[in-house]
Amino acid sequence: MNAPERFTLRMTRFIRAPRDKVFAAFTTEAGLASWMGPRGMRVNAAQVHAEVGGAWQVEMQSRDGSLFVVGGHFTALNRPASLAYTWQWKGEHNPMPGVETLVEIALHEKDGGTEMQMTHSGFPAAAARDGHNQGWSSTFNRLSDALDPQGSAGTVVLLGDVRSSYTRTARMALAEKGVAYTMHTSRAHTPDILAVHPFGKIPGLRDGDIAIWETEAIVNYIDECFGDAPTLRPGSIIERTRCLQWISSINNYCYDTMVRRFVLQFIFPKGEGGKPDIAVIDKALAEMPAQLKALDTAYGTRDFLAGSSLSSADLFLAPILAYVKMMPQGGALLAQYANVMRAHDTMASRPSFTNTQPG
């Protein structure tokens, strides 16, 4: 009888750190605890006996409280060039019951850092291999964060134009979560953006090999992956629903009226003689009061749209209102809505707002 087919995953990753440090990250308890597990997970416990035949085990916990335990034994240790260990899931949340696989790591000095080559073999199915591919990609992002002198800025790259309200929303989310990142100036439909976003819109986010596009998805990814607090998602079902409701409304109604047909008419005038198109502006001004009234009612006595604390909905609206306030007639119009102005002043005082001014 033929042996069952086995599947292999291979990955290569450059880490800006010496080989000794990368090797130690795999073979010490403090090292494993600092990075093992995909983003959004935390390590509750790590045990390592770094000798051939020695055991290792890591217990990880997701944000919903689920526990994931994986461990095995070292089969080779050749400091600082290579190591190998078995890999077996344990406990309740076990994607491959009864299956033991093998992880082999080779480390090569390159460009002042380390090129890491991983081979993970013995998967019983392609789906299991592909699922671990996603997990390892995110896990190695955390390894880079832990060892790179730039921290997460060596892995997380935001592509966009700082003048864009959507790019600013993403920047504010990164600031609220305290995430160090690299800003890469990119315009819509350029090759670097198209490599991330199939429709060429900004912003885009790269987290190592992982590409995220569409601002709401980027903000959600930032919130889920980086720290439990502060959260950009409200706690109750009703507040989470309100948050999603307002993000949809801002994207589908407010942006078109306030930015596309009002703000951008002044910044990129397309009227006769290169002047703003007054007819387009007047129509937008006629529609804005209904939107501002709805926002004013939603705020009531609160300073945030979806509840008593900041949520991602507030990050979508603040950059838009900032632009409206700067434009002719915009400031006077906003001044008629006391709750909107009070809430916007609250947002404008936050470091995430002041530190992302487009200039």
In this predicted structure, which of 6-15, 105-114, 265-274 has the lowest mean pLDDT?
A: 265-274
Predicted pLDDT of residue 359: 77
Predicted pLDDT of residue 3: 58
Tell me: pLDDT of 258 over 70. Answer: yes
2: confidence class by pLDDT, cuts 50, 70, 90: low
Tell me: pLDDT of 5 over 80. Answer: no
Q: State the DSSP code for 37.
A: S
Q: For residues 277 and 275, what is the distance between their CA atoms, to the nearest angstrom?
A: 6
Q: Where in the chain is the domain with CATH 1.20.1050.10?
A: 237-354
Question: Does CATH number 3.40.30.10 belong to domain 153-225?
Answer: yes
At the top level of CATH, the class of 237-354 is: mainly alpha
Q: Considering the chain, what is the average pLDDT of its residues?
A: 95
Predicted pLDDT of residue 266: 92
Tell me: pLDDT of 1 over 70. Answer: no
Would you tell me which CATH number, out of the four given (3.40.50.10490, 3.40.190.10, 3.30.530.20, 3.40.1380.10), belongs to the domain 7-149? 3.30.530.20
Q: Where in the chain is the domain with CATH 3.30.530.20?
A: 7-149
Predicted pLDDT of residue 84: 98
Question: How confident is the model over 135-190, as pLDDT tens digits?
Answer: 999 999 999 999 999 999 999 999 999 999 999 999 999 999 999 999 999 999 99
Question: How confident is the model over 27-59, as pLDDT tens digits?
Answer: 999 999 999 999 999 999 999 999 999 999 999
DSSP-assigned states of every residue in 88-156: EEESSS-SSTT--EEEEEEEEEETTEEEEEEEEEEESSHHHHHHHHHHHHHHHHHHHHHHSTTGGGGTE
Predicted pLDDT of residue 91: 83
Q: For residues 198 and 187, what is the distance between their CA atoms, to the nearest angstrom?
A: 14
What is this structure's pTM? 0.93
Predicted pLDDT of residue 228: 78
Tell me: pLDDT of 200 over 80. Answer: yes
Q: Which residues of 192-228 are buried (b: 16+ CB within 10 A; e: fewer)?
A: ebeebbeebbbbbbbbbebebbbbbebbbbbbebbee
Write the secondary structure of 280-335 as one string of H (helix), E (strand) and C (coil).
Answer: HHHHHHHHHHHHHHHHHHHHCCCCCCCCCCCCHHHHHHHHHHHHHHHCCCHHHHHC
Predicted pLDDT of residue 274: 85
Q: Where in the chain is the domain with CATH 3.40.30.10?
A: 153-225
Question: How confident is the model over 75-110, as pLDDT tens digits?
Answer: 999 999 999 999 999 988 888 899 999 999 999 999
Q: For residues 85 and 53, what is the distance between their CA atoms, to the nearest angstrom?
A: 9
In this predicted structure, which of 23-27, 92-96, 287-291 has the lowest mean pLDDT?
A: 92-96
Mean pLDDT across the stretch 243-252? 98
Unique residue bearing structure tokens 């409304």: 249
Closest CA to 318 of 351, 281, 276: 351
Predicted pLDDT of residue 81: 98
Given its phi and psi angles, is residue 278 left (phi above 0), alpha (psi -120 to 50 degrees) or beta? alpha
Mean pLDDT across the stretch 282-303? 97
